[in-house]
Amino acid sequence: MTKADAAQHEVDERVRSAISHWGPRFTTNGVTVADFERVTRSLTRWQDWCAAWSVAADKHEALGRTALAEGRTRSAGEHLARAAVYFHFGKFLFVDDVPQMRKAHESAVRCLDDALPHLDPPGRRVEIPFEGRRLVGILRLPSTAAYGEGPSPVVVMIPGLDSAKEEFRSTEELFLDRGVATFSVDGPGQGEAEYDLPIRGDWSAPGAAIVDAVAALPEIDGERIGIWGVSLGGYYAPRVAAALGDRLKACVALAGPYNFGACWDALPPLTRKAFQVRSGAADDEAARRHALTLDLAGQAQHIAAPLLVVTGKLDRLIPWQDAARLADEVDGAQLILLEDGNHGCMNVWPEHRPYTADWVAARLRD
């Protein structure tokens, strides 16, 4: 095999890896099945990934802009929120071309910001000062029909390495339908903060800043706050719970690592490269060392909030044993281990997502 052939094979493998790892996640979180098949069928080179998804996103944004101009605001919100998801999935791991990635990301943010007033229920952007920069979250409140008058309980939703707040609409709906407000937020190394604030293992400071800001919102009951995280967010959420003690009334860790560095050799190249860039590491070895600082050892025993840990036995990124270890170390923790679940368990979402929303809602009502 020539060097050119080897390089082409590597690029093709990135596309295959992204499709095989993330298909159910895309379609569960807002990409239509037809669009997923159409876009991925046309791709053979990783360098075309972001552009292909951006072209698909442009079509949905155009539908949204037309609906806005015609006064069909509900449809406009749906179209623009979908466009935001497509732009997000164009940029989610596209760290080899940061300018192109950032352009798609800015489009995702623009589309979601414009969609927010027209969603049902609507949302609004909240900016939190942090270390001279800002963390940005989206607040959505349940309808009074679902919850009633008065301040709402809330679940803070933490993305992972390659997710961001633009991806969470379908998950938010589960909590909102059960009377729980949602606050989907980009932390250090994520979404709008990824260009200024690197990934960090200790989330006590950003976690406290986020929870303090949410608790201060007049629509929120500061005594009834839960936290939910997926993938690396499934590590961050327990770290925040360990730092904040009884300030949190529920914690969900979905597909999170116990020690991310211990998973390093089994991670796909796309994932390792994204972590390297978003942690500010100089190379793969430096990224591995930084990943080792994302560690729950000595932290798990400080978690006072009720803890639900969810994982799948077919997770190819994070061994299910990491979730079992976390659950074993926290008194009263509940472990949901899904035999056919992949990373994030999106391929078996009916087996955990509704239950998780019920579980959180029940603890925030107590």
- Which residues have a catalytic role annotated? 231
Burial class (CB in 10 A: 0-12, 13-18, 19+), 202: middle
Extended strands (E) in 30-180: 123-130, 133-140, 152-158
Structure tokens at 121: 């229920």
Amino acid at 171: T
Beta bridge partners of 309: 253, 335
Provide φ and ψ at 256, rounded to 5°. Answer: -90, 155
User: Cα(36)–Cα(95) distance, rounded to whole angstroms?
Assistant: 21
Instruction: Work out the angle at residue 81's Cα, subtended by the Cα atoms of residues 122 and 54, and round it to the nearest 5 degrees.
Output: 160
User: Cα(351)–Cα(353) distance, rounded to whole angstroms?
Assistant: 6
Positive or negative CA dihedral for 147, 356, 343, 319? positive
User: Cα(8)–Cα(52) distance, rounded to whole angstroms?
Assistant: 18
The conformational region for residue 131 under phi > 0 = left, psi -120 to 50 = alpha, else beta, is left
User: Cα(179)–Cα(360) distance, rounded to whole angstroms?
Assistant: 10
Provide φ and ψ at 294, rounded to 5°. Answer: -85, 85
